[in-house]
Structure formats: C-alpha cells, structure tokens
Amino acid sequence: MNDARPRIPPPAPPPVVFGAAAALRGTAAPARLLWLITGFWMLQPLSTDLYLASLPTLAASFRVAPAAVQQTLSMFALGVAVSQLVSGPLADRFGRRPILLAGLLVYVAASLACALATHIDALIAARFAQAAGSCTVAVIARAVVRDAWPASEGAQVIARSTSVLAVALLLAPIVGAQLQASFGWRANFTLLTLAGAALALISAVRFAETMTQRPPAAIRPAALLHNYGALLRSRAFWAYALPGALSFGMVFVYICGASFALIDVLGVPTRHFGYLFALGVLGYLVGTQLCRRMLPHYGLSRTLRLGSTLGLAAGTTFAIGLALGLQHWATVVLAHFLVTLAHGINSPCAQSGAVAPFPEKAGTAAALLGSLTMLSAFLVTTLVGASYDGTLRPLATISALLALALFVAERVLAAAHPAEEAGS
C-alpha cells in the first residue's frame, strides 16, 4: 500500500565553518583555518617590510626630511605596542569573531588611507591605525590557536604557520622593491589594502566564534593594571623582557635605516634593495633554527647568553667596518645578517623566559612583553630618524650601543634569574 504523505527531504548539511576545537578535528576545516591564521599573522610584518624600499622616495615625494618619513615606522611600532595591551582582553570579553572583524576593518580602512595620503602627517596617522588593526588580528590568531587546538598540537600549528610566514617575509622586501620601481610607493599600500579586504571577506563568511566563555572581568581596568603592575615589578620578568626588547631594537635599526643607507648613501638600485634586505630575514631564520638545536643542550639561560654575545659581535661589526674605512653595501648587509641571526636566538629565549615564571598570567605577560618590544622599536626608530645625517655613522653607533646594552642586561639580569629557577 502506497503512502500518500509527501516525503520531507532530509535537511541540507550546514556549511563547513571554522569553529571550536571539537568541530575542527577530524575534518578539512583545520587545514583551512591554519591558512587563515597564517594570513592573520602575515599582515603585521608585511605592513612594514613591503614598503621599506619606498622610504627614500616618500621623503622626496612629500618633500620632507628622512626623520619625518621614519615616523611612519615609529608610529606603527607605537600602534602595535598600545594595541597589544588592549586587544587581548577585548577578545576575551566580547569574543574572537567581532574583535577580529573590527580589527580587519580598521586595517583595510587604514591601508587605503595610506595609499591615498597626500600629506606626511596623514600617512603617519594612518600607519598608527594600520598597526592597531594588524596587531589586533595577530592577537586573535594566537587566541584562536589556543581555542581550537590542544596545547600539544598548538605548538605544531604555530610551527607550520611560521614556516609559511618565513617564506612570505623573505619575498616581501623583494616584491615591495619591484612594486616601488615599477609603480611607485602607493602600489605597496594598495596591495596591503587588497590583502586585508580579502582576509576580511573570508573571515566574515567562513570564520565562526571559537571562544565558549566570555568573562566580564577580562576588561576591568583594576584587574588589568594589577596584573601589568605585578609583572613590571618583577625582576624575573625584566631579566628576559629587557634583553628581548634590546635585541629587537637592534633589528629595527636596520629596518628603519637600511633603505636610506643602501639606496641613498651607497647608491644601491631600488630594484636590488629587496634582495639585500631579504638576506637579513634569512639571518633570522637561521638563528631560530640554531636556537632550536641549542636549547636542548645548553638550556634557556646559557642559550640567551650565547645569543647576547653574538649580538655584541653583530652590533659592533658595522662600527668596526666603518672605522676601518669599509663603507660598502656588503658591510651593511653582513651587519644586518648577524644582528638578525642573533635576534633569532635571543627572541625565543626572551619570550619563553619572560612568560615561564607566570603560568597564571601567561597571556598578560606575553602581551606586556610584546608591547615593551614594540616600544623599544618605537624609541629606536625615533632616535635613528632624529640622528640621521646622510651618512652611515648614526646607524653604526646606535647599533653598537644597543649591542652593548643587550650584553650588559643579559649578564646583570638574566644571569641572576635563570628561567629554570625563576618559578621556584
């Protein structure tokens, strides 16, 4: 006997979205989420490395001194330093998705403002906003890794993402130099605008909330100030935070000064600048690999000591070369390579050593460390811009002084608070 009742078709399967860990495991979604997270992390470094070859042209285009153009770097660093402290608590209180989308919208609008800027002050202000947006997106990426994967898998996820990011960082100065030579400086910011818009569109359609709880206390000023104050009063925190910040400051000497040194002072063609700067990025990748091999044998404190010693040698290489009359692009490139090589060793040690003694405040410690690191970059960039006189001497002098400060800070602070004993 036939059933006359209409057959109700089964419901269509829901679209695959990125969600919590339970929904991600065992499907193709984690792989897509990994690519999206990598894109989030790329925005911040690409926003700097892509336009470095354009810095001398910006000075000529806006008819300002190099110091004014270098403020586009220093204000970017300051924007990251400030955003680092507030974006994490906001994401904990209101969820990952809304803060992520807000950060991406700010980034796209700021990048477009950079591309359309007609005055140096407008570009500087837009760079600050661009930094805030990119930093927010990067902070969300780290939080999503904690949400979506167990701790044992999270490190592997970050490692895979970092491998892809490394390739992008090698290519960024090369691509940026070619864009500058072919189309001018606005092309770099146009590309960043399109990249941010693509990430925003994908995130709006495919990214679901990964956070299950939203504690109201996450953004209470009293709680935030208490945690940050406790860390700032801790010698164990400063033992690793200060060397890490000084090491990053050395890197920023070359980030903000290499294009003027190579293109303006030494006459390197703009198209070739990207290849020479990429060698410095390669030094960082070599340093991180050395750090991974050294840590099991020497431990955190001794590895940082070796890194700070290498930093001293790297920071003084430039000054010694100039004193010997070696004013050549190879001297700058070698010094840049050695500085980033040392930072590749120092940075992982500083990050681990500064956070390890505070398991109950690990996120806050990481945010404060990141903020102090970018504050160091802000101060260094401001100093380099103010002292630039059309020669290589200011870059060499500042690099050597930072190297000496790094060496002393490690000997005085980190040696007195080894990370292996800091929590005891």
102 and 251 both lie in a single domain: no
The reported pLDDT for the residue numbered 277 is: 92
Does residue 9 lie within any of the structural domains?
Answer: no
What's the pLDDT tens digit per position in 214-239?
A: 666 656 778 778 888 988 999 889 99
| pLDDT of the residue at 243 | 93
pLDDT of residue 266: 92
Contact call for residues 140 and 91 (beta carbons, < 8 A): yes
Residue 411: burial class (beta carbons within 10 Å; 0-12, 13-18, 19+): middle
Query: Which pLDDT score, from 0 to 100, does residue 178 have?
Result: 95
DSSP per residue, 10-59? PPPPPPP-B--HHHHTTSSHHHHHHHHHHHHHHHHHHHHHTTGGGHHHHH
Q: Is residue 7 in some structural domain?
A: no
Residues 192 and 90 in one domain: yes
**Where a domain ends, among 167, 185, 219?**
219
Pairwise CA distance, residues 361 & 378, whole Å: 26
Contacts of 40 (CB under 8 A, 6+ apart): 100, 137, 138, 140, 141, 199
Same domain for 332 and 409: yes
CB 287 within 8 A of CB 348: no
The answer to whether residues 171 and 271 belong to one domain is no
CA 183 to chain centre: 27
Closest CA to 73 of 99, 44, 39: 44
Any domain includes 424: no
201: which residues sit within 8 A by CB, 6+ positions away? Answer: none
d(CA 25, CA 9): 28
Highest average pLDDT, of 162-166, 221-225, 261-265, comes from 261-265
Is the domain of 191 the same as that of 294?
no
Residue 108: per-residue pLDDT: 98
Contacts of 391 (CB under 8 A, 6+ apart): 265
Task: Specify whether 147 is located in the same domain as 262.
Answer: no
> Is residue 167 assigned to a domain?
yes
Report the alpha-carbon distance of residue 251 to residue 288 in Å, rounded.
14
- Give the pLDDT confidence score for residue 219 in this predicted structure: 63
Do 245 and 369 lie in one domain? The reply is yes
Same domain, 203 and 264: no
Taking the C-alpha atoms of residue 422 and residue 424, their distance in angstroms, rounded to an integer, is: 6
Q: What is the mean pLDDT of the chain?
A: 85
C-alpha closest to that of 55 among 41, 78, 76, 40: 76
At residue 25, what are phi and psi to the nearest 5 degrees? -65, 140
Same domain, 81 and 143: yes
Domain boundary among 190, 219, 248: 219
- Mean pLDDT: which of 17-21, 151-155, 306-310, 411-415 is highest? 306-310
Q: Has residue 15 got a pLDDT over 80?
A: no
Is residue 42 domain-resident? yes
Q: Answer with the residue of higher pLDDT: 96 or 246.
A: 246
Last residue of a domain, one of 219, 242, 262: 219
| CA 276 – CA 355 distance, rounded (Å) | 34
Q: Report residue 318's pLDDT band, with 50, 70 and 90 as the boundaries.
A: confident
Does 208 have pLDDT greater than 70?
yes
Number of compact structural domains in the chain: 2
Tell me: pLDDT of 367 over 80. Answer: yes
Query: Which percentage of the chain shows pLDDT scores above 90?
Result: 51
128 and 28 in a single domain? The answer is: yes
344-357 residue pLDDT tens: 999 888 888 888 78
Domain that holds residue 287: 234-417
For residues 17-34, give the mean pLDDT: 52
- What's the CA gap between 130 and 108, in Å, rounded? 8
Is 337 a member of any domain?
Answer: yes
pLDDT of residue 92: 79
Domain identity same for 323 and 412: yes
Q: What is the pLDDT of residue 153?
A: 67
User: Which of helix, strand or coil describes residue 207?
Assistant: strand
Q: Is 16 left (phi over 0), alpha (psi -120 to 50) or beta?
A: beta
CATH number at residue 304: 1.20.1250.20
Find the farthest-apart pair of alpha carbons in the chain and give their distance in angstroms, rounded: 102
Does residue 226 lie in a domain region? no
Asked if residue 241 and residue 215 are part of one domain, the reply reads: no
Decide if 2 is inside a domain.
no
What is the pLDDT at residue 14? 39
Q: Are 40 and 354 in contact (CB under 8 A)?
A: no
**Structure tokens that stand for 30 in this block:** 């984690």
CA distance 326 to 331: 7
Q: Is pLDDT larger for residue 233 or for residue 421?
A: 233
